[in-house]
């Protein structure tokens, strides 16, 4: 079973486009994390959310706890945004569940 | 900027051998994690560790796996008798405290079991 579902799996965008990646989860959570995995494999934490909305530069993350849904938005996308974006939820007691990731390619 | 480090970057071993993957978390961090990612698949949680004991582990983390913080700086993952299916990238992560703050990931160790 998949506790975390992401969509789309793959996304190609033109530079400058507004991008949305969605994440739905089925377990109770204490927090939701958005991660970025670079082509070389390294993982960087972008956001940690337990409610509402956070913004960091051109990235915005929102979460709706009642609907068990989160979105990651990228405004004015750039080729350097090309990466895999991973949604991960933190259940009670320090357990984590990961989505399969969204592979984003931004074309100049 | 402080970072999580992992050694080795790539480990090749024969099936049935024991391997130890090493991680040095950020120095003031208290919570430690191991994850694995089989090639082409999603990241999977293995274990979380706090106050010198396991706080959570997944179904993957069976008796073949163990973790240790032997000296207050290193955090190790041991696989006692490796199987072909243990071939994966293993990531260590740490954070200051549990809940409501971000994790910092190491660069990963690629384990290849032949």
The DSSP string of B48-99 is EEETTEEEEE-TT--TTEEEE--SSS-EEEEESS--GGG-EEEEEEEESSSS
Pick among A94, A95, A100, A101 to test the B interface (most B CBs inside 10 A): A94
- Residues in A 67-86 with any Cβ partner in B closer than 8 A: 86
CA–CA gap between residue A87 and residue A32 (Å, rounded): 7
How do residues B45-80 score in pLDDT, each as one tens digit? Answer: 999 999 999 999 999 999 999 999 988 789 999 999
Whether B58 has its CB under 8 Å from any CB of chain A: the answer is yes
How do residues B21-50 score in pLDDT, each as one tens digit? Answer: 999 999 989 999 999 999 999 999 999 999
CA–CA gap between residue B97 and residue B32 (Å, rounded): 9
CA–CA gap between residue B18 and residue B81 (Å, rounded): 5
How do residues A84-102 score in pLDDT, each as one tens digit? Answer: 999 999 987 778 999 999 9
How do residues A57-92 score in pLDDT, each as one tens digit? Answer: 999 999 999 999 999 999 999 999 999 999 999 987
Q: Tell me the nearest-neighbour CA distance from A72 into chain B, angstroms.
A: 16
Residues above pLDDT 70, as percent of chain A: 99
CA–CA gap between residue B10 and residue B78 (Å, rounded): 15
Helices (H) and strands (E) in chain B, counts: 0, 11
R_g (Cα) of chain B, nearest Å: 13
The pLDDT value given to residue B70? 85
CA–CA gap between residue B75 and residue B91 (Å, rounded): 12
Residues of B in contact with A101 (CB under 8 A): 42
Residue B99 in this model has a pLDDT that exceeds 70: no
CA–CA gap between residue A18 and residue A104 (Å, rounded): 12
CA–CA gap between residue B4 and residue B8 (Å, rounded): 13
The pLDDT value given to residue A53? 96
Mean pLDDT computed over every residue of chain B? 94
């Amino acid at each position: 079973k998949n506790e975390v579902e992401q969509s789309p799996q793959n996304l190609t965008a033109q530079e400058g486009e507004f991008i949305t990646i969605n994440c739905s989860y089925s377990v109770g959570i204490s927090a939701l994390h958005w991660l970025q995995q670079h082509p070389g494999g390294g993982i960087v934490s972008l956001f940690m959310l337990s409610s509402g909305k956070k913004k960091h530069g051109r990235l915005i993350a929102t979460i709706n706890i009642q609907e068990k849904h989160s979105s990651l938005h990228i405004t004015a996308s750039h080729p350097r945004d090309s990466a895999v974006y991973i949604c991960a939820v933190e259940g009670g007691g320090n357990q984590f569940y990961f989505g399969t990731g969204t592979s984003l390619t931004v074309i100049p | 900027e402080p970072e999580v480090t992992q050694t080795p970057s790539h480990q090749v071993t024969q099936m049935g051998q024991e391997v130890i993957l090493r991680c040095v978390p950020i120095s003031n961090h208290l919570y430690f994690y191991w994850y694995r990612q089989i090639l082409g698949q999603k990241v999977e949680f293995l274990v979380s560790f706090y106050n010198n004991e396991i706080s959570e582990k997944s179904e993957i983390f069976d008796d073949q796996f163990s973790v240790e913080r032997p000296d207050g700086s290193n955090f190790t993952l041991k696989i006692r008798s490796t199987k072909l299916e243990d071939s994966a990238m293993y990531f260590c992560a740490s954070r200051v405290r549990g809940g409501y703050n971000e994790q910092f990931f190491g660069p990963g160790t690629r384990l290849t079991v032949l």
